[in-house]
Amino acid sequence: MDETKKIDLKNTEVRELNRMLQKRDGNNFNYFNIINPMGAHAIATGLDNEIDVLIDGHVGYYCAGMNQQSIVTINGNAGVGVAENMMSGKVVVKGDASQSAGATGHGGLLVIKGNASARCGISMKGIDIVVGGSVGHNSAFMAQAGNLVICGDAEDGLGDSIYETVIYIKGNYGKLGADCIEKEMNEKHFLRLEKLLDKANIKDDPKKFKRLGSARKLYNFDVKNIDGY
């Protein structure tokens, strides 16, 4: 078993930490345990290695931003923009996430075991996001590709101006955003959702979920739909 390198952020600057995680200091570790993060911003950003990073505690803004290949686990809550612009790999938040979780993400999997605040998945471009709890307003705003799974409820504006992203929601939702509608769930969707829940290690029944997506009325400008823009 590979040795785990423990890094205490009481004694280490975040910039120095990220150099180690990005392997720009010549280290050969593949497992890292970060302690005392104390809400610091930009922890574990810009990673592009097949490494495992465990962060014990709460983190600030933009944790695990631009992640590629790495698996980052946060034993706590995350501030604004966790996993922003993620490309691949996996980011797990054991607690709650603040606004704009997974924003503009192109790939990989973001799992939020608790709740996510407003604009979860805003402008997502291929990332899969699974939220064990509920999400705030305007989640999946202008979401272009990927899947957003919500095991709880959603506030108003869900899926506003959505493109090809698929939303699966178990609970209730408020007023849907422009051009977002509820659609039929068939066996293909149940299987896809089952795989997403399994990858997120969340046990739930896909048959209890609803599917939302684009009505495709706003793809091309039409004066008849002017009130929808």
**pLDDT at position 24 over 70:** yes
- Looking at the fold, whether 112 and 186 belong to one and the same domain comes out as yes
Residue 84 burial (CB count, 10 A):
22
Whether 103 maps to a domain, the answer reads yes
Whether 228 maps to a domain, the answer reads no
- Looking at the fold, whether 76 and 122 belong to one and the same domain comes out as no
- Looking at the fold, whether 218 and 119 belong to one and the same domain comes out as yes
Choose one of 51, 82, 113: the last residue of a domain: 82
- Looking at the fold, whether 71 and 171 belong to one and the same domain comes out as no
- Looking at the fold, whether 104 and 183 belong to one and the same domain comes out as yes
Global pTM reads 0.94
Give the domain range for residue 12.
Answer: 1-82
Residue 196 burial (CB count, 10 A):
21
CA distances 215 to 8, 123, 136, 219, Å, are 50, 17, 22, 9
- Looking at the fold, whether 168 and 198 belong to one and the same domain comes out as yes
**pLDDT at position 222 over 70:** no
C-alpha–C-alpha distance, residues 123 and 144, integer Å: 6
Whether 89 maps to a domain, the answer reads no
> What are 78's two structure tokens?
């995350």
Whether 150 maps to a domain, the answer reads yes
Per-residue pLDDT, averaged over 92-107, amounts to 98
Q: What is the pLDDT of residues 49-78, one digit of tens each?
A: 999 999 999 999 999 999 999 999 999 999
**What pLDDT is stored for residue 74 in this prediction?**
98
- Looking at the fold, whether 114 and 139 belong to one and the same domain comes out as yes
The number of domains in the chain is 2
In eight-state DSSP terms, residue 229 is: -
**What pLDDT is stored for residue 1 in this prediction?**
46
Contact of 217 with 228, CB cutoff 8 Å: yes
